[in-house]
Amino acid sequence: MGLEISSPIIVGSCGLTSDIETIKKIEKAGAGAVILKSIFEEQILNETSNNVRNQEFYTFPEAYDYVMNYSQSHAVDKYIDLIQKAKQTVKIPIIASINCISSAEWLNFATNIEQAGADGIELNMFLLPSDVNMTTDDVERFYEDTIRIIRRAVRIPISVKISNHFTDLAHFVQRLSLMSIANINIFNRFMMMDVDIDELKAKPAHITTNKDEIYETIRWTAILSNVVKCPLTAGGGVHNEADAVKLLLAGANTVQIVSSLYDKGIDFITECNEFLAQYMLKHKYNTIEEFRGKISLKSNQPSAFLRVQFMKYFSDMK
């Protein structure tokens, strides 16, 4: 994002980053930057217009009531206060985060975030492409329109956090990266869904990621790092110190961690930094740039490479 950071390990948006004392610990543990817990579009709209728009969006029973309750007053003031306090307390960059489902009037709030002193804004665009009436173009236009409007509203760098649910992921990510944004963060993760077989109800599955999710992140980092025209943050499934090195080798500029901090504690950041330093010493690298992207899929045909791997390993397995 054009920000100077002392480590490529950054802490992603989550509950831990909504508390000043924890942010202090995160800095002390050696994180390069911190992305604050997201403020939701609904929270902003509820205060600015005293009305949560997109009411028709919440057709699920009780969802609208929940959202109205969740977006109680003062969320906006509290968020601005969090940014200001974080900026006064720590030296590492503070990135504010907005979780949005439309490109509506909440966008004005971005200016408040900038004025509060945030070093950047991350947009977590939360659109699961599940509406049969929405085409690929409609979905992608939402991302582009939102970026265009917010880019006009603020001067601080903008990071865009996306999910991997796109038909033309590589093409789309490249298009986004050409829109004068400062960073792309892969991946945003939707709540996992499970089923209560006795109550006959849908229920949320585990909230944190597991260690196997890293492989999907490695694959896409290796593919996308060669097509993006802006820096790339990779995250999702970093549960082992070596995972951060793997993502840098795949071409990430920064590596984001969240779940492992819940599982192992904030010290995991220090362990990742120490492992990275040891790795660089072992391989005689003086800078990250000397090895970043070394295993990215440089060829024009990563799918051919991955197809051959599939044929080689899956078809031979007895």
Ligand X SMILES: Cc1cc2nc3c(=O)[nH]c(=O)nc-3n(C[C@H](O)[C@H](O)[C@H](O)COP(=O)(O)O)c2cc1C
Nearer CB in complex with ligand X: 124/221: 124
Distance between CA atoms of residues 129 and 75, nearest Å = 28
Token pair for 220: 């896409």
To the nearest 10°, the Cα dihedral for 264, 266, 271, 274?
170
Which residue number, 226 or 259, has a Cβ lying nearer to ligand X? 259
CA distance 186 to 238: 12
Give the bridge partners for 257, in sequence order. Answer: 11
* Gap between the Cα atoms of 273 and 278, Å rounded: 9
Cβ proximity to ligand X: between 206 and 307 the closer is 206
The residue of the chain with the least Cβ separation from ligand X equals: 259
Residue 87 CB, shortest distance to ligand X, in Å, is: 19
Angle between helices 241-249 and 268-282 (to 10 degrees): 50
Of 16 and 228, which CB lies nearer to ligand X in the complex structure? 16
CB nearer to ligand X: pick between 263 and 289 = 263
**Least distance in Å: CB of 37 to ligand X?**
5
Nearest approach, Cβ of residue 256 and ligand X (Å): 6
User: Scanning the structure block, which residue is given the tokens 């072992």?
Assistant: 282
Contact letters for ligand X, residues 11-50 (x by CB under 6 A): -xxxx---------------------xx------------
Contact stretch for ligand X (CB under 6 A) within 111-119, 130-138, 252-260, 292-300 = 252-260
Distance of CA 203 to the CA centre of its chain: 24
The two tokens of residue 212 are 């196997």
The distance of closest approach from Cβ of residue 308 to ligand X in the complex, given in angstroms and rounded to an integer, is 29
Judged by the rule CB under 6 A, the positions of this chain that interact with ligand X are 12-15, 37-38, 97, 99, 124, 161, 188-189, 207-209, 235-238, 257-259
